[in-house]
Structure formats: structure tokens, C-alpha cells
């Protein structure tokens, strides 16, 4: 599952999907002509790499930051059908992404979990009893929701039983329906690992800086290894720009582009400990200005979001304003008036940028989340817009277009195979077997010196890859000295040796989500992790200080300290 198959002069080499393999992978990229090169290592790029590699294409992917470092680690962390888009009459979008939810869940039940969502309706609210009932019924129909997860209508008393913290004044009842909670960054990593298993050559911290042409047709890219500053060429028959918020920046390097462009909008989330905000139930609610906001319990925390405002600054470091923070605190106060959450109760936060397609005169929340594929005269294919939920279908559409191009040359790569293809960690025989898999893993964990509870936790995080993670528990026994607890050691070593972690921020943000949901743990263990990685990677004092500062900056940003 973490092994990369590399084809070289008829031989097959096995290279682990690890930082220590970057040099070998880059050497392969220099010498291998590719069918497809993907620029961008978010969920869209990962999905395209998996789809194309599973059809038998020779695939390469480069990402200028870490995988999922852009929008794909900064979403609301829901694989959801976009109920609010029904209000905008985007029926096709709701139908498509609604059906995709179940596919994403089946292919990776360890990173996607059904989450019952409460949609309360009030006397003076946007939604009434009948509009909520009808809307959810249409939603169930369009999304092809299975019988056990179809909407239920709750009375006022039933809604309050589900979530006692709800505003009581004017409450009439609620709609109750299923969405899917996910870890967006881990979903991206698992799709990427599966693409690598299928033969794709993938590397992070590698930036596409210039296009190569022959007779005005794109034939490759000049890349720069961000870590070493060395430049090299990758040759490819087809190149896809899947860079999310950087789509226009990449297109500007090409001589030909259409008149379409992106409109970036920013979304902010805040995280509060459940001792301060004891939320029991995920709630999707109206705010005073008519926007919809989620409040979701997760890992002993409650997180609330999102805002939706235009954004024109650097998408690498989207910042949170005082206005953003106040908006979400007022939204909590509006729907949960007895909670009394204050600024000092916010433990962590994140901001993300949505790469939407510009529409004249529309407010941020009105712009369509639909994706589009653009082709330039040079042959560059760009995928723009879209939602996390629809990543697999977006990838299918892009790769179908690439397949059509190859068909003209007499090469046949067939149809999409990802609809029933488990991602890395998803090989458990279907979602209905997941709980029995967890129970079995809990028993198995004991023989690796983990507790049953730790075994359950790791199995839920890593799925069918958990036995490899468990093996580090035994390795831990052989160590003469280790400053880390066994479970943290196991997760760190797995990330280093099987998930291409380069920096401490990669581990604490995108491989574990800890900066967002367990920031106290990060502050406790950041120095021992840094020391362990320095020893493992051979960093000098300057490199250690650089990575320490980078992590401290991210912690401060999450805490609104910068």
C-alpha cells in the first residue's frame, strides 16, 4: 500500500512512499517520458493520479508544498451533498455530489464517517416545516440516499433532545439527515498513496516553474525541487493543471488561455473544547444574515464554520481577521445562546481558500461550486472549481478527456475503475464490516503492546494499513531510548516511512490534524518530535531552527497570535 512501482527498462523497482525516496523518484521523473503529468497535490490532483494510474497510464504528479497543504486540508471536513445548493436550484450539482458521498465512504470508511445532521427550523427562520421536509426529501431522492439514512422530521421536543443547547425561542422542530464527516487531508493522502501503489510517480515540495513546448504544443515542465533548489525537466504527452487556488498563476505561465478566471473566497473555522461548548449533535443552522453554518462535535471538540468572503491575498497563508472570528462567535451565540462562548475559549482555527469560477456580480455564497474543465491551444488541461465531495467524479471527467486524446493515437486506456476501488487503508471488505474490523484490530493491538483503546483509535485512523502502524509498537520495544510515547512514535514513524512527511508541520497538521484538534498535544510534544525527526533526517541546527519556527508560526496562527 505504501510501495511505489517504478518501471525502468523493463525492470520493476519497489520504492517506499517516503521522504527518503524523493531523490530516486525525481531521478525517475527526469528520465521517464509520461503519458500524464499532474501539477497539484490536493484532492483533485490525487484523484486524477489514481484514476489515470489505475487505467494503466504512466503518471507523474508534483506538488509545490506538502500534499493537501492548500484547500484540501482547510475545508469544513465534510463529504456532503450540498443541501444549501438546492436553495440556488443547482439540482445537477446536488445530484452528482450527493451520489458521490456514498462512493467516497465505501472506498475509504476509515477516513469518512456517516454523521447525522440536525437542521432546526424556527418561526421566523428561512426554513419552515414543509420546506425543510420537502427539501430533504428531494435531497434524498437526488442523492440516491439509502433507506436507513433517509431524512426524518423531528418535533420541537425531539430536536431539543438531540441537542439541548439549541435556541428554544421560536423553535418548531428539525430535519434530521445524514452527511459524511471526513479528515480531508488524510483522505487526500490515502488517495495519493493508492495512486503510488498503482504506479504513479509522486513527489511533494516540487514546483512547476516553466512549461516546455514543441511546435507550440506543451511537451513538459521545468520543475524545481523546493528543498534543494535544483531544477529538472519532466516530459509528458499531456499536462493537467489541478492547482486549486493557483490555477490562474499556472495558466499565466502558458502562452494560451481562455477568458475564464478564478474568484477566490475564504472560509474560516474555529475550534472550542467541549468543556466550554458541550455540543452533542452536529447542527446545520441559519445565521442572522441568512448564511448557513455548521457546528460539529469531533474528538472532544466542537468546530464551527464557515465564513464566505472574497479573498485576493496570498492563498498559501490565508489569514483570519477579527471580523471573521466575531462573525462565528455571534453565530454560536445566535443559535446556542446559553453557551456563552468567548474569544478566549477558541483553542484553534483554520482558514482556507475556495477556488471558485468567477461570475459577474455574484456574492461569495452565490457563486457556483460546479467544476469546469478548460483546454488551451497549447494542450494544457485545467480543472477549476468543484468540491471535495466530487473529487472522484471530477477526476473521471478529466481522465476521460485524456483517454480521448490517446484514442486518436490508437492507444486505449478504457473506462474509469475508481468507483469501486478502495483507497489506501480501505481494503476491509466494505463499510458494513468496519466495526467488526475495529473490534478485531483492538484485540490484535495488545500483542504489539498497545492498549485495546489505542488499537481502536489507530484502526479508525489507518484502516487496513493499521497492522503496519502496529508493527512500530514492537519496534518501540527495541529502542534503547525514545522521548515519545509508543502511540505517537508509531504514528510518526509510519508518516515518515510511508506517507512522505518532510517537515514537522506536515505531520502535525496534515497527517494527524493535531494543530487543529489537539493543539495542547502539539505544544507538549513538538520539541521531542522535532528532535526525533532531526536525528532521523540528519538536520543541522539551522534546519532544526527553521522547522521549529515554521511549526511555532502555524501554532500561533491557529491561536490568532499573529
pLDDT, tens digit, 9 for 90 and up, residues 437-482:
999 999 999 999 999 999 999 999 999 999 999 999 989 988 888 8
Does the pLDDT at position 10 exceed 50? no
Q: Shortest CA distance to 339 belongs to which of 330, 347, 327, 348?
A: 330
Of the listed ranges 207-216, 355-364, 510-519, the least confidently predicted one is 355-364
pLDDT given at position 6: 44
Across 163-185, average pLDDT = 93
pLDDT given at position 68: 96
DSSP 59-93: EEEE-SSSTT-SGGGSS-SEE---THHHHTT-HHH
Query: How far is it, in rounded angstroms, from Cα 120 to Cα 128?
Result: 9
Does the pLDDT at position 61 exceed 60? yes
pLDDT given at position 322: 92
Across 413-428, average pLDDT = 96
DSSP 278-322: ---SEEEEE-TTS-EEEEEEETTEEEEE---EE--S-TTS----H
Return the C-alpha torsion angle 331, 266, 127, 161, nearest 10: -50
Across 330-359, average pLDDT = 92
pLDDT given at position 560: 77
Query: How far is it, in rounded angstroms, from Cα 92 to Cα 108?
Result: 25
Of the listed ranges 37-51, 135-149, 325-339, 515-529, the least confidently predicted one is 135-149
Portion of the chain with pLDDT greater than 90, in percent:
72
Query: How far is it, in rounded angstroms, from Cα 176 to Cα 136?
Result: 9
On whether the CB atoms of residues 398 and 373 are closer than 8 A, the answer is: yes
Across 45-58, average pLDDT = 97
Does the pLDDT at position 360 exceed 90? no
Does the pLDDT at position 196 exceed 80? yes
- What's the pLDDT band for 2 if we cut at 50, 70, 90? very low
CA distances from 556 to 66, 381, 463 (A): 20, 38, 32
Of the listed ranges 27-41, 359-373, 548-562, the least confidently predicted one is 359-373
Q: Which helix (H) or strand (E) holds 351?
A: strand 346-357
How far out from the chain centre does Cα 68 lie?
A: 6
Of the listed ranges 49-63, 118-132, 163-177, the least confidently predicted one is 118-132
Does the pLDDT at position 364 exceed 80? no
End-to-end CA distance of the chain: 39
Does the pLDDT at position 90 exceed 70? no
Q: Which residues are bridge partners to 232 per DSSP? A: 223
Burial of 439 (0-12, 13-18, 19+ CB in 10 A): middle
Whether the bond into 306 is cis, omega within 30 of 0: yes
Q: Shortest CA distance to 531 belongs to which of 494, 559, 495, 489?
A: 489
Q: Shortest CA distance to 393 belongs to which of 50, 21, 90, 64?
A: 50
- What's the pLDDT band for 184 if we cut at 50, 70, 90? very high
On whether the CB atoms of residues 180 and 80 are closer than 8 A, the answer is: yes
Across 155-181, average pLDDT = 94
> What is the CB neighbour count within 10 angstroms for residue 16?
15
Q: Shortest CA distance to 356 belongs to which of 343, 347, 365?
A: 365
Q: Which helix (H) or strand (E) holds 352?
A: strand 346-357
Q: What's phi and psi for 43, nearest 5 deg?
A: -65, -35
pLDDT given at position 246: 94
Give the chain's mean pLDDT: 90
pLDDT given at position 144: 74
> What is the CB neighbour count within 10 angstroms for residue 175?
25
Query: How far is it, in rounded angstroms, from Cα 285 to Cα 339?
Result: 16
Query: How far is it, in rounded angstroms, from Cα 61 to Cα 51?
Result: 13
Q: What is the pLDDT of residues 210-259, one digit of tens each?
A: 999 999 999 999 999 999 999 999 999 999 999 999 999 999 999 877 77
On whether the CB atoms of residues 381 and 374 are closer than 8 A, the answer is: yes
Q: What is the pLDDT of residues 277-290, one digit of tens each?
A: 999 999 999 888 88
pLDDT given at position 210: 96
- Torsion 466-471-476-482 (CA) sign: negative
- What's the pLDDT band for 305 if we cut at 50, 70, 90? confident
Q: What's phi and psi for 79, nearest 5 deg?
A: -95, 90
Does the pLDDT at position 11 exceed 60? no
Query: How far is it, in rounded angstroms, from Cα 492 to Cα 16?
Result: 16
pLDDT given at position 532: 95
What are 313's three cell numbers?
A: 491575498
What angle do helix axes 43-54 and 391-407 make, rounded to 10 degrees? 50
pLDDT given at position 12: 44
Q: How many residues does the chain have?
A: 562
Does the pLDDT at position 131 exceed 80? no
Does the pLDDT at position 133 exceed 50? yes
pLDDT given at position 8: 41
Provide the H-helix boundaries in 62-218. 84-87, 91-107, 129-143, 156-162, 184-197
pLDDT given at position 9: 43
On whether the CB atoms of residues 221 and 37 are closer than 8 A, the answer is: yes
What are 542's three cell numbers?
A: 539551522
Amino acid at each position: 500500500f505504501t510501495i511505489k512501482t517504478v518501471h525502468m527498462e523493463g525492470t520493476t523497482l519497489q520504492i517506499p512512499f517516503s521522504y527518503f525516496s524523493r531523490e530516486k523518484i525525481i531521478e525517475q521523473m527526469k528520465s521517464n517520458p509520461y503519458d500524464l503529468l499532474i501539477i497539484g497535490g490536493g484532492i483533485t490532483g490525487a484523484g486524477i493520479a489514481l484514476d489515470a494510474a489505475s487505467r494503466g497510464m504512466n503518471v507523474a504528479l508534483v506538488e509545490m508544498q506538502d500534499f493537501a497543504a492548500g484547500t484540501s486540508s482547510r475545508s469544513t471536513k465534510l463529504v456532503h451533498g450540498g443541501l444549501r445548493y438546492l436553495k440556488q436550484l443547482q439540482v445537477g450539482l446536488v445530484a452528482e455530489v450527493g451520489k458521490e458521498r456514498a462512493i467516497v465512504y465505501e472506498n475509504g470508511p476509515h477516513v469518512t464517517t456517516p454523521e447525522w445532521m440536525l437542521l432546526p427550523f424556527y418561526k421566523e427562520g428561512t426554513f419552515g416545516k414543509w420546506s425543510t421536509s420537502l427539501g430533504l426529501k428531494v435531497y434524498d431522492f437526488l442523492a440516491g440516499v439509502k433507506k436507513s439514512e433517509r431524512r426524518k422530521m423531528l418535533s420541537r421536543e425531539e430536536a431539543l433532545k438531540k441537542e439541548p443547547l439549541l435556541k428554544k425561542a421560536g423553535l418548531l422542530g428539525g430535519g434530521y439527515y445524514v452527511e459524511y464527516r471526513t479528515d480531508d487531508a488524510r483522505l487526500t493522502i490515502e488517495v495519493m498513496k493508492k495512486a503510488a501503489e498503482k504506479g504513479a510517480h509522486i513527489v511533494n515540495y516540487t514546483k512547476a516553474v516553466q512549461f516546455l513546448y514543441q511546435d507550440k504544443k506543451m511537451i513538459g515542465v521545468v520543475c524545481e525541487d523546493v528543498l534543494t533548489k535544483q531544477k529538472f525537466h519532466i516530459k509528458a504527452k499531456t499536462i493537467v493543471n489541478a492547482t486549486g487556488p493557483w490555477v490562474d498563476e499556472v495558466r499565466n505561465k502558458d502562452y494560451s488561455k481562455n477568458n475564464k478566471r478564478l474568484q477566490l473566497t475564504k472560509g474560516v473555522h474555529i475550534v472550542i473544547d467541549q468543556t466550554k461548548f458541550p455540543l452533542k449533535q452536529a447542527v446545520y443552522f441559519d445565521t442572522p444574515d441568512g448564511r448557513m453554518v455548521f457546528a460539529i462535535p469531533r474528538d472532544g471538540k466542537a468546530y464551527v464554520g464557515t465564513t464566505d468572503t472574497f479573498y485576493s491575498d496570498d492563498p498559501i497563508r490565508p489569514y483570519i481577521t477579527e471580523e471573521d472570528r466575531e462573525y462565528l462567535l455571534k453565530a454560536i451565540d445566535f443559535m446556542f445562546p446559553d453557551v456563552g462562548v468567548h474569544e478566549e475559549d477558541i483553542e484553534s482555527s483554520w482558514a482556507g481558500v475556495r477556488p471558485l469560477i468567477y461570475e459577474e456580480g455574484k456574492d461569495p455564497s452565490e457563486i457556483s461550486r460546479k467544476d469546469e474543465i478548460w483546454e488551451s491551444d497549447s494542450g494544457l488541461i485545467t480543472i477549476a472549481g468543484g468540491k471535495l465531495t466530487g473529487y472522484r467524479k471530477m477526476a473521471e471527467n478529466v481522465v476521460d478527456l485524456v483517454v480521448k486524446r490517446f484514442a486518436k493515437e490508437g492507444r486505449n486506456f478504457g473506462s474509469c475503475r475508481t468507483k469501486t476501488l478502495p483507497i489506501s487503508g480501505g481494503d476491509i471488505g466494505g463499510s458494513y464490516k468496519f466495526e467488526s474490523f475495529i473490534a478485531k484490530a483492538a484485540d490484535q493491538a495488545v500483542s504489539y503492546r498497545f492498549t485495546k483503546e489505542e488499537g481502536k483509535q489507530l484502526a479508525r485512523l489507518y484502516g487496513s494499513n493499521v497492522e503496519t502502524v502496529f508493527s512500530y509498537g514492537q519496534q518501540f520495544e527495541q529502542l534503547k531510548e525514545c522521548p515519545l510515547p509508543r502511540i505517537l512514535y508509531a504514528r510518526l514513524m509510519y508518516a515518515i516511512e510511508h506517507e512522505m512527511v518532510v517537515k514537522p508541520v506536515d505531520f502535525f497538521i496534515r497527517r494527524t490534524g493535531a494543530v487543529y484538534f489537539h493543539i495542547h498535544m502539539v505544544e507538549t510534544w513538538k520539541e521531542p518530535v522535532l528532535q526525533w525527526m532531526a536525528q532521523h533526517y540528519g538536520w543541522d541546527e539551522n534546519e532544526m531552527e527553521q522547522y521549529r519556527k515554521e511549526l511555532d508560526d502555524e501554532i500561533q496562527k491557529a491561536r490568532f497570535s499573529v
